Amino acid sequence: MKTSRLVISIFFIVLGILLLRKEESFQDKFAIISLPIKEYYLQITNSIKDSRDKYLKQAEAIEELKKENILLRKYLYQQKITIVQLEQLTQFNEKKFNNHNNILRVQTISYKKLNDFSQVYLTNSSELGEDKIYGLIQKNVVAGIAIKENNTLKGILLSNPICQFSTFIGKDKTPGIAKGIDAENIEVNFIPKWSKINVGDKVLTSGMDNIFLPNIPVGEVTNIITKSTYKTAIVKTYADVLHPNFFYLVKEVLQEPNDENSSQIEPKNNSTKEKK
């Protein structure tokens, strides 16, 4: 009885081992066969995940670009408006100067000296008087003065210390006398010491010296120096005196009550500075 039980136990053990071996072999074969399927499934899963991530990033990028595009369009529109306004202003001023009876268009012939870019020879006009100081305007800003000597018209630009004319500074129209320094700056002297002027104030011609029309832009104050009896303002000029091509020459300043420029001038002092 014991022997039969032992035989039966051994039989089942051997059978179990054989079945396990067959199952393991089957599992190995099944795993090998299913590898391509699993790999393909993994590729598809990864592809879907990558596509989703890529789409989300692209959507975020597109949204950011849309915001930037709207902002850039606003900037571009503002720039276009500014350009149009500047073009209209330039055309208005040039048309005004061209139609003004006391404005003469002159052109640069050459520099007076090869090593001096602050003085030029200009096209002459027989209607200009000798030894008289005339104002030179480049587009719509002050560029210098001109003097006719020995039937030759000479332009003295803002970069030359000889170039001097009267100005008003700021909203209070504080008077002063401009004098050339270099190609980008002039100084305005003899400003009353008690005057309230500030950096950034606009400097315009006063028209009180019979050289320029009133209210022609000159530049902006960049520095203020207080001296013993008066103030001096350093002014960055608007004109491009290093590239002189043509100018508008002010033949004569007429102070007319109905003139739009002179009507804005209410000078407190009528004194003028003699030009030499």
Q: Summarize pLDDT for 150-208 with one digit per residue, the tens.
A: 889 999 999 999 999 999 999 999 999 999 999 999 999 999 999 999 999 999 999 89
Looking at the DSSP assignment, which residues form a beta bridge with residue 174? 169
Other beta carbons less than 10 A from residue 179's beta carbon: 18
User: Please, are residues 170 and 197 in contact by the beta-carbon 8 Å criterion?
Assistant: yes
How many CB atoms sit inside 10 A of residue 145's CB?
A: 26
Residue with tokens 């315009």: 204
Residue 128 to residues 92, 147, 150, 154, Cα–Cα distance (Å):
26, 9, 12, 12
- The pLDDT, as a whole number, for residue 263 is 37
Task: Indicate if the pLDDT at residue 14 is higher than 60.
Answer: no
Q: What is the DSSP letter of 263?
A: G
Q: Which of 78-87, 175-184, 252-261 has the lowest mean pLDDT?
A: 252-261
Measured between alpha carbons, how far is 72 from 18 in angstroms, rounded to an integer? 78
Least Cα distance to 122 among 101, 141, 144, 94 occurs for 144
121-140: pLDDT as tens digits: 998 777 888 888 999 999 88
Q: Which amino acid is at 205?
A: T
Work out the average pLDDT over 216-234: 95
Report phi then psi at 25, rounded to 5.
Answer: -65, -40
Structure tokens, 38:
């699993």
Whole-prediction pTM: 0.58
Q: Parallel, antiparallel, or unpaired: how do β-strands 152-157 and 141-149 relate? A: antiparallel
pLDDT tens-digit profile of 38-48? 566 667 777 77
Q: Which of 99-108, 196-205, 228-237, 244-253 has the lowest mean pLDDT?
A: 99-108
- How far apart CA 49 and CA 38 sit, in angstroms, is 16
- pLDDT interval class at 213 (50, 70, 90): confident
Residue from 107, 187, 114 nearest 155 by CA: 107
Distance CA 205, CA 269 (A): 14
What is the Cα–Cα distance from 42 to 26, expressed in whole angstroms?
23
Give the domain ranges of the chain: 16-99, 104-254
- Under CATH, which architecture does the 104-254 domain have? Beta Barrel (2.40)
